[in-house]
């Protein structure tokens, strides 16, 4: 049974990642900041015994290290860095109204959080014969596709995430560990809102197909959930 580690798994896309990989029979390490409040995740665990739930705030090195020590000598085949934030009430602010504290927090979660977790579980990924890191980004991180102002914090954080993961893909290649950067589309989740055109079950199924067909020739590529490449 292969092992999948998923961050931000208590709702939305993260919860759907857990559901689909658990249904597939994978061992799923589902993490979130407040497990006691993750009722939908606990309901899934009651259905699938191959799910375990763990506390993890990707901005806390103490919690990351605690989780790493828990699985110190075990392999991780797939790490899905799904945890992310979008500060909706500030994202459309004009230049003079930008909240730099919110911008810093967005970077801390969306960029540094991905890097912290990946670095912490590098030895676990090395224990796999086909280790893969999937970073959940956004087409809003594509500089080529910026055609309107606003969303400064989120856009810049995802562009930075893309650059970091592209570089990391080259560092991890000698260890036969792959890195994919995925755009899940605009989903009908709490973050995406009810007007979003896509459902998590469909976009996660699409991303799983991209992951399943991954080869090391694809390291560092920036792909939509349907496998179409996105310009940088």
Q: Give me the domain span that covers residue 7.
A: 3-224
pLDDT score of 202: 87
pLDDT score of 196: 59
Total count of domains within the chain: 1
pLDDT confidence of 88, banded at 50, 70, 90?
A: low
Residue 230 lies in a domain: no
Domain of residue 107, CATH code: 3.40.50.720
Q: Which tens digits make up the pLDDT trace of 16-46?
A: 999 999 999 999 999 999 999 999 999 999 9
Ranking 51-60, 71-80, 98-107, 117-126 by mean pLDDT, the lowest is 98-107
Rounded-to-integer distance, Cα 97 and Cα 163, Å: 27
Residue 128 lies in a domain: yes
Residue 111 lies in a domain: yes
Residue 201 lies in a domain: yes
| pLDDT, average across residues 90-99 | 72
When comparing pLDDT for 164 and 188, which is higher?
164
DSSP reduced 3-state for 51: strand
Ranking 127-131, 148-152, 155-159, 164-168 by mean pLDDT, the lowest is 148-152
Rounded-to-integer distance, Cα 27 and Cα 46, Å: 14
Rounded-to-integer distance, Cα 194 and Cα 90, Å: 19
Residue 172 lies in a domain: yes
Q: Which tens digits make up the pLDDT trace of 185-202?
A: 665 556 655 665 567 898
Asked if 159 and 166 touch (Cβ cutoff 8 Å), the reply is no
* 93 has a pLDDT exceeding 90: no
Residue 231 lies in a domain: no
Residue 86 lies in a domain: yes
* 91 has a pLDDT exceeding 70: no
Count of C-beta atoms within a 10 Å radius of residue 99:
16
Residue 232 lies in a domain: no
Rounded-to-integer distance, Cα 84 and Cα 220, Å: 19
Percent share of the chain, pLDDT over 70? 91
pLDDT score of 199: 77
């Amino acid at each position: 049974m292969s092992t999948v580690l998923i961050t931000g798994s208590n709702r939305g896309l993260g919860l759907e990642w857990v559901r689909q990989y658990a249904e597939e029979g994978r061992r799923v390490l589902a993490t979130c900041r407040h497990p006691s409040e993750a009722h939908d995740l606990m309901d899934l665990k009651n259905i699938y015994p191959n799910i375990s739930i763990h506390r993890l705030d990707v901005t806390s090195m103490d919690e990351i290290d605690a989780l790493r020590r828990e699985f110190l000598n075990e392999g991780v085949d797939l790490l899905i860095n799904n945890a992310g934030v979008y500060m909706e009430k500030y994202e459309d602010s004009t230049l003079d109204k930008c909240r730099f504290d919110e911008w810093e927090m967005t970077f801390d979660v969306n960029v540094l959080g991905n890097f912290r977790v990946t670095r912490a579980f590098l030895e676990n990924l090395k224990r796999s014969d086909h280790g893969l890191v999937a970073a959940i980004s956004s087409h809003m991180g594509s500089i080529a596709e910026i055609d309107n102002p606003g969303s400064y914090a989120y856009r810049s954080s995802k562009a930075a995430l893309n650059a970091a993961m592209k570089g990391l893909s080259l560092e991890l290649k000698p260890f036969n560990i792959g890195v994919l950067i995925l755009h899940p589309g605009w989903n009908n989740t709490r973050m995406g809102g009810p007007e979003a055109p896509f459902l998590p079950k469909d976009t996660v199924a699409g991303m799983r197909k991209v992951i399943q067909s991954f080869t090391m020739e694809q390291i560092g590529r920036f792909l939509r959930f349907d496998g179409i490449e996105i310009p940088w």
